[in-house]
Amino acid sequence: MALIVHPVEVDTREVARRVKEWFDQKGFETKAFGQDGAYLVKARKSSTLRSVIGADRAIEVGVRTADGKTRVLVCQGSWKTNVISNAAWLFVTGGINLAISGWSIVIQKDLEGYVREVLEELSASG
């Protein structure tokens, strides 16, 4: 989990739109939600194998403003709870799930860098 705090308020809708677009360009399945100026973008790489081995984790990005700052929370979550895939992971997969988890961390770090760029760009143009 990473909390990125930008010192000024920027357009949270635009941040969420760009984050969703970043995921879409990389072939992720995405969902986006917004309410009262706060946004949540969820993304995952979907495949039967990932579901079977319990590696269908999502990356979640929450965007909001508070106290004159823009806050972006990037974390890994579960797209959905799946008892069968969790059991399969526990008894069958071992290292495969760990490799996919490592891949998720790399993607998350790339995303965090992109979010920081977007925040800087939006605050410079505003």
Domains defined along the chain, listed by start: 2-119 (3.30.310)
**Residue numbers in the chain where pLDDT is lower than 70:** 46-57, 77-104, 126
pLDDT at 92: 46
| Rounded distance between C-alpha atoms, residue 2 and residue 108, angstroms | 9
Question: Can you give the pTM of this predicted structure?
Answer: 0.76
Distance separating alpha carbons of residues 74 and 118, to the nearest angstrom: 14
What's the pLDDT at 74? 93
Q: What pLDDT, on a 0 to 100 scale, did the predictor assign at position 41?
A: 95
Q: Which residues pair with 75 in a beta bridge?
A: 60
Residues making up the chain, counted from first to last: 126
Which pLDDT score is estimated for 86? 43
User: What pLDDT is stored for residue 52 in this prediction?
Assistant: 44
Q: One-letter amino acid identity for 83?
A: V
Tokens 């799946």: give the residue: 82
Query: What residues pair up with 3 in beta bridges, in sequence order?
Result: 73
* Predicted pLDDT of residue 37: 92
Cα–chain center distance at 21: 12
